[in-house]
A and B are shown apart, each in its own frame.
Chain A
């Protein structure tokens, strides 16, 4: 069974630009969560999508947004990039039934560098 895939794996952008990251979940998984990982803050939750609806959102500014498509693939967008947005962005997929405690499986991440 193929795992979670994320594209691109590496990105270099400059301040003020915007970026779109993509995530394809494990086949049959309907929930996709996004996390930001930095050396200083560790892994922090961004948002979760299930059946094309944002179900939960973390404490990040509105510059961070996402969406999910009918095939469960998800994208996240960061507008007006700041230096502090440099991080590893991780996508995790799970079966996602409401109230379920099922495991989240992570992709390899997209390394974003903002210059």
Chain B
């Protein structure tokens, strides 16, 4: 059975304090690893897609990386507006085109 596990569940940072969020996955033949950001009461907002081990993508203060077993979302010098829940999701290589989501990391950045 496909599994995606995110850690930590919650993270509190001071503004400017860099950190990383972890997403480990057990998915048959991974075809894509997706990162989303979700604000309270809203739908997930797409951030990145990673397709193969070694791939990296960046957007402003965020950088996502992928290995054969896990993905990291690095947040450099975060600002209070980066506070949100960050979700990762995996798409398997065969069968259903359904995303398997992790439970998310709730990030709070304090000024």
A, B assembled together = yes
Q: Which residues of A contact B (CB under 8 A)?
A: 4, 31, 33, 35, 42-45, 48, 55-56, 58, 90, 101, 103-109, 111
Contacts of A104 in B (CB 8 A): 34, 46, 99
What A residues does B87 contact at CB under 8 A?
43
Asked whether, in the complex, the Cβ of A106 is within 8 Å of the Cβ of B45, the reply is yes
- Known A-B contacts A45-B98, A48-B98, A56-B98; the reply to A101 vs B42 at CB < 8 A is no
Are B102 and A55 neighbours in the complex by a CB distance under 8 Å?
Answer: no
**Residue among A35, A90, A101 making CB contact with B49, cutoff 8 Å:** A101
Residues of A within 8 A of B51 (CB): 101
Q: Number of B interface residues, CB 8 Å?
A: 24
Max chain A CB contacts within 10 Å: which of B36, B43, B89? Answer: B43
Q: A43-B101, A101-B49 are in contact. List 10 more A-B contacts (CB 8 A).
A: A33-B99, A35-B99, A42-B101, A43-B87, A43-B89, A56-B96, A56-B97, A101-B91, A104-B34, A109-B43
Chain A contacts of B104 at CB under 8 A?
Answer: 42
Query: Least Cβ distance of A26 to chain B in Å?
Result: 11
Q: Please, how many angstroms separate the alpha-carbon atoms of A40 and B102 in the complex?
A: 12
Nearest-neighbour CB distance to chain A for B111, whole angstroms, equals 27
20 A-B pairs whose Cβ atoms sit less than 8 Å apart in the complex: A31-B97, A33-B99, A35-B101, A42-B101, A42-B103, A43-B87, A43-B99, A43-B101, A45-B96, A45-B99, A48-B97, A55-B97, A90-B44, A101-B51, A103-B46, A104-B46, A105-B46, A106-B43, A107-B43, A108-B43
